[in-house]
Structure 1
Amino acid sequence: MIASDFSSSVERLGEMIAEAAVIVPFTGAGISTECGIPDFRSPGGLWSRNRPIPFDEFTASRAARDESWRRRFAMEPTFAAASPGRGHRALATLYRAGKVPAVITQNIDNLHQASGFAADHVIELHGNTTYARCIGCGLTYDLGWVKERFETLGHAPECATCDAPVKTATISFGQAMPEDAMQRARELAQQCDLFIAIGSSLVVWPAAGFPLMAKNAGARLVIINNQPTEQDDMADLVIHHDIGDTLGPFVGN
């Protein structure tokens, strides 16, 4: 059902939240735009200005690795200045209340953790850009170490242990999805009675399959997104409105 009246749709959302025992939120870039973090796909988004660097190109080309890290360091002031928005804080309120066991996210900005979710309860399908990882042995690195080495060497550093490339702990095009996170997301989608997709275009697979999985397992499905999605027709409630305005009433003290 696509609600035409915003206030009544928020009221209905509140009723569905109250009736649910287990709520699983699924978040995309739209929940973080009010925090100052631009999305990727929309006009003016990051990918309209810079072509994504695929994983195989990153591994094969030092120039690609250098460019990847230049872009990340250029974005550091944006990520460093961002704090959780109303959407993050509303979900954290439901988490503290015991309604939400974990959040599934396509985002890489660490804002769910900053809002109060335990790190183990943030299922990051696309990784996390606030630290780095060796793509060989998996050793993690602080971004400060990477930047210092980048500036000293004049190029992207290799792992101090195994000499493999170091990249942000995110999932690039062509890189394998994290199987542990995918399995946990599948389990959550199949065990909830309310699944809320928030700020996702629902076009990136296999992540976009989780709302369908939850619905097929018997959960109610809510989609909150500024723009229509291909899954709107199967949702129990669709709200095409600002995410912060929609979820703001559910922010607790």
Structure 2
Amino acid sequence: MRMRPTLSWVPPEDLPPGTTDLEPVADALSVGGVLVLSGAGLSTESGIPDYRGKGGSLTRHTPMTYPDFTASAQARRRYWARSHLGLRTFGRARPNAGHRAVAAFGRHGALSGVITQNVDGLHQAAGSEHVVELHGSLDRVVCLSCGAYSPRGELARRLEEANPGFAPVAAAINPDGDADLTDDQVGDFRVVPCAQCGGVLKPDVVFFGEAVPPARVEHCRELVREAASLLVLGSSLTVMSGLRFVRQAAGAGKPVLIVNQDPTRGDPHALTRVALPLGPALTAVAGQLGIPVGDRT
């Protein structure tokens, strides 16, 4: 039986730049009440690239912004062509060992919740429950005129019918499900309107330059208030949407633990940063705690 240690925050000047010691993560999970905050790095082992890691998509790709999407019909044509093609590959991604470990921690009662910055649905596919999708999900589409929601699969069917034979070869797939296509490949791709009112359809995800809904932010803040500690998995914490929860937890004296191979913006607030690949690291922690991970896909 593992002892349930008392964890405390350590000043950043006392922290090493990165470690391979998983003991603090195992200790936090043995205490329980851990809130997970996950980012794109957790899905890289499923074949979905991240934004800012080595070879991340931002080195070659500029994500769609909310102002561009809402202001330009051509931008929407480019987005939907690329996203429609990307979804075929994106939809084949399966949970990896990291997702399965998080789900196992939840089943074991070690977690108080999961907040993900990812839009791929892989936490839920691995068996995690009550996941807060901070940036939304690619599985849904919303009309910007009437506010109606519809399944992404329904839109995919309509886009297939409107664009028979559309099958260019993409240079790469990005974390938001967007495929890298040239303007020539996009061509005269036809965008379909809302089936209810004829308005503009948008994936139910938070674009760059778009604010996370305030009610969702407050819900996440409440989860931080209720948690015993915060475990960040695969996020650079470069943008404020995730960093604010790290700052909140640290400000409340709650331990913040980060597993990310590269330095993050949250490191000064963290008890430790484990610089190891997520799948093997989380599987090792589960083994230390005697928690079976399983192989759900």
Q: Same fold (TM over 0.5)?
A: yes
The answer for the alignment partner of 1:139 in structure 2 is 148
The answer for the alignment partner of 1:102 in structure 2 is 113
Q: The residue matched to 1:114 in structure 2 has which SS?
A: helix
Superposed CA deviations along residues 79-108 of structure 1, whole A, max 9, x for unmatched, are 222111111111111111222132111100
TM-score, normalisation: structure 1: 0.90
Higher relative contact order (CA 8 A, sep 6+): 2
Q: Distance in 2 between matches of 1:25 and 1:196?
A: 5
Q: The residue matched to 2:91 in structure 1 has which SS?
A: helix
Q: The residue matched to 2:253 in structure 1 has which SS?
A: coil
The answer for the alignment partner of 1:215 in structure 2 is 250
Mapped pair 1:11 → 2:46:
no
Equivalent residues, number:
248
Q: Distance in 2 between matches of 1:26 and 1:203?
A: 14
Mapped pair 1:30 → 2:41:
yes
The answer for the alignment partner of 1:150 in structure 2 is 159
The answer for the alignment partner of 2:216 in structure 1 is 181
Superposed CA deviations along residues 170-226 of structure 1, whole A, max 9, x for unmatched, are 111222312222111101112211110111001111321101111212211101101
Matched-pair contact (CA < 8 Å) for 1:105–1:122: yes
Runs of 5+ consecutive residues of structure 1 not aligned to the other structure: none
Shift of 1:23: 0.6
Task: Indicate how the Cα distance of structure 1 residues 137 and 245 shifts in structure 2: closer, same or farther if over 3 A, else same.
Answer: same
Q: Distance in 2 between matches of 1:230 and 1:140?
A: 35
Matched-pair contact (CA < 8 Å) for 2:17–2:263: no
Larger deviation, residues 27-36 vs 79-88: 79-88
Task: Indicate how the Cα distance of structure 1 residues 224 and 57 shifts in structure 2: closer, same or farther if over 3 A, else same.
Answer: same
The RMSD of aligned alpha carbons is 2.0
Task: Indicate how the Cα distance of structure 1 residues 201 and 4 shifts in structure 2: closer, same or farther if over 3 A, else same.
Answer: closer
The answer for the alignment partner of 1:79 in structure 2 is 90
Mapped pair 1:116 → 2:151:
no
The answer for the alignment partner of 2:266 in structure 1 is 231
Q: The residue matched to 1:155 in structure 2 has which SS?
A: coil
In terms of Rg, which structure is larger?
Answer: 2
Q: Distance in 2 between matches of 1:238 and 1:205?
A: 19
State the percentage of identical aligned residues.
35
| Paired amino acid for 2:199 | A
Q: The residue matched to 2:94 in structure 1 has which SS?
A: coil
Residues 82-93 of structure 1: pairs in structure 2 closer than 5 A = 82-93=93-104
Shift of 1:151: 4.2
Q: Distance in 1 between matches of 2:43 and 2:24?
A: 24
Runs of 5+ consecutive residues of structure 2 not aligned to the other structure: 1-14, 163-188
Larger deviation, residues 43-52 vs 55-64: 43-52
Shift of 1:42: 3.6
Task: Indicate how the Cα distance of structure 1 residues 136 and 176 shifts in structure 2: closer, same or farther if over 3 A, else same.
Answer: farther
TM-score, normalisation: structure 2: 0.77
Q: Distance in 2 between matches of 1:163 and 1:130?
A: 20
Matched-pair contact (CA < 8 Å) for 1:134–1:166: yes
The answer for the alignment partner of 1:51 in structure 2 is 62
